[in-house]
Structure 1
Amino acid sequence: LASSALGGFAFSAAFSAPSVPLKRCEGKDEQPQSPVPSPAPCPLFPASPACGRAACKPDDELLLAAAAAADPSPVRGFSEAAGSIWIYPTNLPVRPYQERMAGAALLANTLVCLPTGLGKTFVAAVVMYNFYRWFPSGKVLFLAPTKPLVAQQMEACGRVMGIPARDMAEMTGGTQALGRRELWNTKRVFFLTPQIMVNDLCRGTCPAMDIKCLVIDEAHKALGNHAYCQVGLESPPSSLPLLCFCASLQAVQQVISNLLIAQIEVCAEDSPEIQPYSHERLVEKIVVPLGEELVEIQNTYIKVLEAFTGRLMRVGVLSRRDIPNLTKYQIILARDQYRKNPSAVLGWRRIAFTEHCGV
């Protein structure tokens, strides 16, 4: 394992970067290096008596004032001994972009955009393990919208970072509420779906103040009234570091606002730093036929549809007669065309009758 010094690092109520940059030291037996002095003022801007830094723009002055007013006291439960370094595994090939993303996520709410198959699971495991070390009594959470993603991350945290199985728990829709209450009280690292967390936050069974790190997969879903957004509303954002993952940047500004993102780490498909690890993907399409039970259900459903679509076809509103392949969009399109010019399809006496049929 490689350890990196976080000299002078103190968690504040508002999760923010430390006063000195990260320093990496090779080898697990080496001592953390001394804090790196703050860099000299930028020669392009004269020092300002008001802030001691370069002459700032109005927005920068507001940010500096907010940083100065932030409470510098450590977060409850933070271990200063463990928090002086962060651990990064070197028993696997070190990819610079993964190390950079993990380091960034330790210091600010971070959105990582990385193509599928390039190690988002690994980065999440590294970040979760370090918060697990830094807060010996705190909770670390990983949220994913599907059970397979939840199980995949749980396996990675044990295999890559060696988090003990006795401290980990998986909670999905099959876990009863009483069982989850017991898990919240006895475990430290949780892998669950967002709706489960929302439910337990509302019930008060999830100890929100003990959560020290929250990792969100498929973060592009954090739009509107999605459970990811509800998690942000129900949990205490001022003391909750976030690491969010997505494969592409879609509606990114709304995601940034909903999840309080402070930093974005992006690697596109054509980024030079990921080219050595990218491989051409071969997609094979496999069509699986329906089983006997599903075919029977399909035929019954088609018979129900025929009672309505057959009538619409006879009066000329629907032209397509391939009912099994009839889509909702095609029905809505036919309805809209009919409403624009019903007389072109029907005589006036039959217009009201057709509308009543549900077109």
Structure 2
Amino acid sequence: SSSAKVWIYPTNYPLREYQLKISEAALFRNTLVCLPTGLGKTFIASVIMYNFYRWYPSGKIVFMAPTKPLVAQQIEACYKVMGIPQAHMAELTSTAAKQRQEVWRAKRVFFLTPQVMVNDLSRDTCPAQQVKCVVIDEAHKALGNHAYCQVIRQLASQTKHFRILALSATPGGDTKQSVQSVISNLLISHIELRSEESPDIQAHSHQRSVEKMVVPLGETLSAYQTKDLRSLSKYQLILARDQFRKNPP
């Protein structure tokens, strides 16, 4: 349709050239975006989500984050940037399984953990054929049989027509092999990588003063330092945990 020939970029925020370039690239290719913390990964995700929301009036847009607090944080951020109507958005991390099918039917933009997404795909609660855009936060976790990997495998087995945007400040740890695994597991075909030294980033990155503080363990924890924790029974570990919760340092 003619609407797909046009994509929208917000003008209610100061223009950052790198965000504009990354957004344009990510609209048309499965992209891994590697940006230092605080430089606008969520902003880019919001732009991509809004355009797919606009291009596919009956499509579903999914934003996955590994924990419930991160999910809640991203909902607010995405709403502020692009203004997708809140009536069309849903957070599924706290919704009972029986109710989620109706939410999937009625809403268009979903924020959830990958575990919930795996469950809903497995039960056919999520209409996989209607999913048009998947955003994956903390994408470096997509290794082995992580829930992120399961989601993409299940989606890809049912439809080929969806875009993937993967976000990470640290893609795959320190090894080339783990980075390649993330790329393969998430069907990535394009990478947008910036560091704090990148020319188009420097104007927007702030100098940080890092002070290393070494905190001594104290008597209680020092006693465990000489023990092999593997030798403790499950009961001993649970008991130690409960005691720690009752009397935190």
Q: What letter matches 1:193 in structure 2?
A: T
Q: Does 1:168 align with 2:89?
A: yes
> 2:120 and 2:127 mapped to 1: Cα distance?
9
Once the two structures are TM-superposed, the CA of residue 155 in structure 1 deviates from its matched residue by 1.3
**Partner Cα separation in structure 2 for residue 328 and residue 186 of structure 1:** 54
Letter in 2 for 1:85: V
Matches within 5 A, 1:171-320: 171-172=92-93, 174-236=94-156, 238-250=160-172, 251-281=178-208
SS at structure 2 position matched to 1:239: coil
Distance 2:101 2:82 in 1: 26
Letter in 2 for 1:177: A
Matched, 1:148 2:69: yes
Identity of aligned residues (%): 59
Inter-partner Cα distance in structure 1 for 2:226 and 2:111:
37
Alpha-carbon shift at residue 162 of structure 1 (Å): 1.2
The separation in 1 between residues aligned to 2:115 and 2:9, in whole angstroms, is: 31
Q: Summarize the alignment of residues 1-20 of structure 1 with structure 2, pairs less than 5 Å apart.
A: none
TM-score, with normalisation over the residues of structure 2? Answer: 0.82
Quote the Cα distance in structure 2 between the aligned partners of 1:129 and 1:333.
49
- Tell me by how many angstroms 1:211 deviates: 0.1
Larger radius of gyration: 1
Q: How many residues align?
A: 221
TM-score, with normalisation over the residues of structure 1?
0.58
Question: Which runs of no fewer than 5 residues in structure 2 stay unpaired?
Answer: 173-177, 214-218, 232-249
Moved more, 84-93 or 111-120: 84-93
Higher RCO structure (Cα 8 Å, ≥6 apart): 2
Q: Which residue of 1 aligns with 2:228?
A: 331
Task: List per-residue Cα deviations over 1:136-164 (Å, max 9, x = no partner).
Answer: 00000000001222122211222111100
Cα 1:151/1:109, change in 2 over 3 Å: same
Runs of 4+ residues over 6 Å off in structure 1: 283-286
Q: CA deviation at 1:325?
A: 3.6
Q: Please list, as runs of the form range in 1=range in 2, the aligned pairs for 1:63-82 lying within 5 A after superposition.
A: 80-82=1-3
Aligned residues of 1:154 and 1:191 also touching (Cα < 8 A):
yes
**Paired amino acid for 1:189:** V
1:88 matched residue in structure 2:
9
Aligned CA-pair RMSD: 2.4
